[in-house]
Amino acid sequence: MNSWRLFIAIPLPEPVKQELARAQDALTHANSHVRGVGLAGMHLTVKFFGDTPAERVADIGHAMKLTAATVEKKIRLTCEGIGVFPNVEKPRVVWAGLRGETAVLEQMVQRLELAMETIGFAREERPFHPHVTLGRMKLPKQLGSLHKAMHQLEGRSFGEFDAEALILYRSDLLPSGARYTVVERAPLP
């Protein structure tokens, strides 16, 4: 059985990615333990499936398109601020936050979760926290320098954008990093 590593995300426009890359540079220079994601890895993930049988792609794509069709207005977002998961004492993921039409975004994500649950996929147990991953840390070291860099980026806007589509991506993990391939696309208003 052929399986693909899949997730659904909202792509970011290039100018926002470029601004995020500048912030990422500041963070990775401040702390050598932060491993930045490439520009292709900068997106707003709304549903992660992991390894999924390839024959489920059509079902996922159909449910994703039905969900996108329920969105009645543009979802305008601003990429702003820096944070970490799970916490500042043991950061593993460094991210940029999102604000703006987040209530509309969260309603769409809830409908997407329900649609995926209907076709047999488990609902995400953690609450949805809209963010763009900038980097990951395996070892939480040199935290003072990381916190200082985060403080310098606090409240900074990395740009506004309209969520234009839901994209079903295939992610292939390679020694050189993840490679993302668009599998299905569902436009948003």
CA torsion angle for 174, 180, 181, 187 (degrees, to 10)?
170
CATH number of 3-184: 3.90.1140.10
Structure confidence at residue 93 as a pLDDT band (50, 70, 90) = very high
Structure confidence at residue 98 as a pLDDT band (50, 70, 90) = very high
Q: What are phi and psi of 121, to 5 degrees?
A: -100, 140
Whether the predicted pLDDT of 35 surpasses 80 = yes
Closest CA to 104 of 66, 130, 141: 130
Whether the predicted pLDDT of 85 surpasses 80 = yes
Separation between Cα atoms, residue 50 and residue 48, nearest integer Å: 6
Structure confidence at residue 180 as a pLDDT band (50, 70, 90) = very high
Concatenating the DSSP letter of every residue in 22-79 gives HHHHHHHHH-TTEEEPPGGG-EEEEEEEEEEEGGGHHHHHHHHHHHHHT--S--EEEE
Which residues are registered as beta bridge partners of 83?
95
Query: What would the mean pLDDT of 143-159 be, rounded to a whole number?
Result: 94
Domain boundaries, the chain: 3-184
Which residues are registered as beta bridge partners of 109?
none
Whether the predicted pLDDT of 70 surpasses 90 = yes
Amino acid, single-letter form, for residue 174: L
Q: pLDDT over 70 for what percent of the chain?
A: 99
**Beta carbons of 179 and 172 less than 8 angstroms apart:** yes
Query: What would the mean pLDDT of 32-46 be, rounded to a whole number?
Result: 95
